[in-house]
Structures are given as C-alpha cells and as structure tokens.
Amino acid sequence: MPPYLAGRDDEKREFERLLTQTTILENLVLTGLRGVGKTVLLDTFKPLAIRQGWLWVGTDLSESVNVGESALVVRLLADLSVITSSMVIKQSETAGFVSSLTDVTLDYKTLVKIYTDTPGLAADKLKAVLEVVSKAVTNETKRGVIFAYDEAQILSDSPENDEFPLSLLLDVFQSIQRKGMPFMLVLTGLPTLFSKLVEARTFAERMFHVVTLSKLSRDDSRDAIKKPIADANCPVGFSEDSVETVCDHSGGYPYFIQFICKEVYDSFIQQYASGEVKAVPLDSITRKLDADFFAGRWLRATDRQRELLYVIATLGKEDEEFTVQEIVMKSKEVLAKGFGASHANQLLSALGDQGLVYKNRWGRYSFAVPLFDRFILRQDGPNAPELPF
C-alpha cells in the first residue's frame, strides 16, 4: 500500500454512494490499465464498507487460471465461509413424529452440503446457498455482503468446453438481487472486463456502474511524491526539479511513481551508509523498472509480434488509440517487411490474449500496459538525468 493515496477521492465517493443502497441495483466495475492503482483502491474500499456495516469477501482471480463453473462455485463458497463460519442457523430435523430445531454453523462444509443437496442446475444450487446466508446476515444485523474480485477479466465463458462461469456469476447475482438479497459484486480488471460482462449477458450493462481509473493529474502526481515525505517528517526530500522529473518519467501512473520513489530512497540509504552521498541516476532505476515490470511481458511476444509492437510505439500515440490502418502504413516506413491488414489483425488478437493490447468498441486498439511504448523505444538504452536530493 502506498503511504498516501492521491487523486482517488471521487472514486471513493462513488463507492460510498453504492454502499447506501437498500436494494442492490448497481454493482461496481473498477477498470483501467495496469499500474493505475486498481488493486490499491480496492483495498481501501474494504474498510469503508466494513465501517458501514457490510461484510467483505473476495480474492485475486489471477490465482484461478482457466476458471470453470465448478471452480468458480468452490471459490465463492470458500470465500463466503470465511465470514459465515461464526454464524449459526436453526435447522429442522424430523425423526418419526418428533420435530426439533438444531443449531447448524455455516462453515464451508455446511455451505457445500446445502449446495449439493439442492436439486437443479449450478445456478439453482448457488442461489439456495446465498438465500440461507442472506437470512443469517440479516440476523447478524449486517447491511449485506460484498464479493470483491481482482483480475476479474480472466473470467470468461467457454462454449466449446460447455463451461459458462461468467454467465453463472451474472445470472445468480442478478436473480438474488432482484429478490432483495443484500449481495453486491465489486469486480476490478483491465479495460476488457466490462465488454466481457456485456458479451456474456447483455443485462450486465444495467447491472454495473463502471469506474475507469486513469493516470494522475500533475498536481495529484506531485502530492503522491511529496506528501508521504512531509507526513513522515523525513529529513531527506526531493528538489523541485526532481519532483518534476519523477512526474515526467512515471507518466502519472501511481505504480511507477511509487517504484521510482522507493528506489531513490533505497539508493540514498545505501549511499548514506557508505558515507558517500551522490545523486541517483534515473537510468539505473529505469533499467530496474524495465526488468521488473516490462521485460516479462516483452519476452512472451514472438519476434514478429515484437516488430508489430515496435511499429505501434513509433506512432507516437502514448495513451492514445491506434488503428490497424495506421499500423499498416507505419510498418511500410520503419520495417523492411511491412504488415498487411489481415496479418496485423491476427497479431493484435494474439497480443490481446497476452494482455499487451486491447480492443475497444470502436474498432481501435490501445496498449494494455502503460508506458509500454517508452520501454520498446528505449531498448537501445535510456538517456535519463540524475535525481539530486
């Protein structure tokens, strides 16, 4: 977690508005490029929800590769059992002509038993579990339960394998919310997430309020750099020129701001310990950022895919959309062997599957990784200034 979360007050207020719903009519999709702070913001939402009487469950879906319906059900029940294992309900037992009520704890084993004992499809079984939990939550005088899942863009239906986990999730939550059960979905992911939701179920467009995180403004970037230093009464700070340099090289993306600032202070501590304090060369930090953040993604691309990515980088459209036509035309200028439209489309589709680019509704593409074009263009070596203290 960053010591200071800059520029996200509007998003917090939107989430707090959703928490006031008595009947859940809106769920939340939090989307944006990698490095804009989706996961960090999601973590700050949790205490806000708990303070208003909500229970919170969830995890990072990137741990569940190739999620199917059964895997999704296990994930939901396992997460739910964390908060229900202390809840007790009355269950009727009939023996001959004698009927009695026994206490049953809603632990994972009980949730699974309710699921397996309910007839019908997976959706019917999951609804039955959530209906029981809903009554228990109400008895606990809680507002409801928030299911929060990060990296949710990995969820997708697979008709060829007869697996529809995303449709299952949407169908179940729409149904229980229409019945007034207090369960809310909060999903975070890359910009492809919302289009996947709508593609799976068209009613998803009405189910979710979409909040798109972008890079920080210049003022918010400066606050992200300077306020942690001021709040900690740190005896070492940045010069104004260095603050501006960090803003420029981070592009306003919170992850990069935090990465650069951390590396600067780590370097200073080492220099101070050795008794020789010098300026910090930003090119060294940039090379480490390249290795830690960009290199793994770059290495997954084939040689021809890298050529396409290079062409895109030379378009000079940082943070802007680009088209197949622009790629084709530029490739004839910068490559010995350019791309045709069909080949470019095929490569873009493959790069989309790898999470390097994404296609929006208007047939235009964007990098899914911020500042990826800068990384590509500096493969011959950066020429960056030093950061004085």
Per-residue pLDDT of the chain (389 residues; tens, 9 = 90+): 888 899 999 999 999 999 999 899 999 999 999 889 999 999 999 999 999 999 999 888 866 655 789 999 999 999 999 999 989 887 754 444 444 467 888 999 999 999 999 999 999 999 999 999 999 998 878 899 999 999 999 888 989 889 999 999 999 999 999 999 999 999 999 988 998 999 999 999 999 999 999 999 999 999 999 999 999 998 888 889 999 999 999 999 999 999 999 998 888 888 888 887 777 778 888 989 999 999 999 998 999 999 999 999 999 888 789 999 999 999 999 999 999 999 999 999 999 888 899 887 677 899 999 999 999 998 754 455 555 55
The pLDDT of residue 361:
67
Which domains are delineated in the chain?
Answer: 9-84+115-212 (3.40.50.300), 217-389 (no CATH)
- Verdict on whether the full-model pTM lies above 0.85: yes
End-to-end Cα distance, the chain: 24
Beta strand spans in 172-218 (E): 183-189, 208-212
The pLDDT of residue 120:
94
Q: State how far the Cα of 350 lies from the Cα of 343, in Å rounded to an integer.
A: 11
The pLDDT of residue 388:
58
Q: State how far the Cα of 30 lies from the Cα of 213, in Å rounded to an integer.
A: 7
3-state secondary structure of 149: strand
Looking up tokens 């599957």 gives 353
Q: State how far the Cα of 156 lies from the Cα of 121, in Å rounded to an integer.
A: 19
Beta strand spans in 68-191 (E): 88-95, 98-105, 144-150, 183-189
As to burial, measured by CB atoms within 10 angstroms (0-12 exposed, 13-18 middle, 19+ buried), residue 227 is middle
Closest CA to 307 of 271, 323, 331: 331
Compute the residue count for the chain.
389
The pLDDT of residue 93:
46
Residues 289 and 259: beta-carbon distance below 8 Å: yes
